[in-house]
């Protein structure tokens, strides 16, 4: 991969890769590190991509794996997480911001599944391919994440079943 190719892919996918990493590790500095490492791996990658979407899927898979590794590492478990919210108020309504803040409280595996499915628009099969999980595991993870979100939103008064 040439430096020009890398610059092109960074321009196309940096924000998406960063948002995915942030949704998993829930720490801005760590998400930047994951993002940078993902693009370093892309620079070292010897293969070619038929289309930009193939590169994006490859980067997402690498980002998920790097984020998981970071969460498992001793360095991460010994440090305190910064108490910070994922920036979500850029043009979003108050309810959308509250929803995103609630999603950010989910465990990392649920946050990643919700982010990839709803925010990035990937199918369950595509998420399974990226994460190396079975389709049934991703389906179950999404269902559990939705159920947890619903309970959290009801508890916080953001969601009201009676209004629907």
Task: Answer yes or no: pTM beyond 0.85.
Answer: no
- For the stretch 78-134, pLDDT in tens is 554 544 554 544 455 666 677 778 888 888 888 888 888 888 888 899 888 887 889
For the chain, list the domains and their CATH numbers: 1-84 (1.10.1740), 91-164 (1.10.10.10)
- For the stretch 54-71, pLDDT in tens is 888 899 999 988 988 888
SS (H, E, C) the chain: CCHHHHHHHHHHHHHHHHHHHHHHHCCHHHHHHHHHHHHHHHHHCCCCCCCHHHHHHHHHHHHHHHHHHHHHCHHHHHCCCCCCCCCCCCCCCHHHHHHHHHHCCCCHHHHHHHHHHHHCCCCHHHHHHHHCCCHHHHHHHHHHHHHHHHHHHHHCCCCCHHHC
């Amino acid at each position: 991969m040439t430096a020009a190719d890398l610059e092109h892919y960074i321009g196309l996918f940096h924000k998406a890769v960063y948002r995915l990493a942030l949704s998993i590790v829930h720490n801005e500095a760590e998400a930047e590190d994951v993002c940078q490492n993902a693009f370093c791996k892309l620079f070292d990658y010897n293969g070619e991509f038929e289309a930009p979407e193939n590169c994006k899927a490859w980067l997402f898979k690498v980002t998920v794996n790097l984020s998981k590794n970071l969460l498992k590492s001793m360095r991460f478990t010994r440090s305190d997480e910064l108490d910070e919210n994922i920036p979500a108020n850029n043009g979003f309504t108050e309810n959308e911001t509250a929803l995103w803040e609630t999603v950010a409280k989910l465990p990392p595996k649920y946050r990643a599944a919700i982010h990839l499915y709803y925010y990035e628009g990937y199918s369950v099969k595509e998420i399974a391919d990226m994460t190396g999980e079975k389709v049934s595991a991703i389906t179950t993870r999404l269902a559990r994440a939705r159920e947890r979100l619903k309970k959290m939103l009801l508890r916080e008064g953001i969601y009201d079943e009676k209004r629907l």
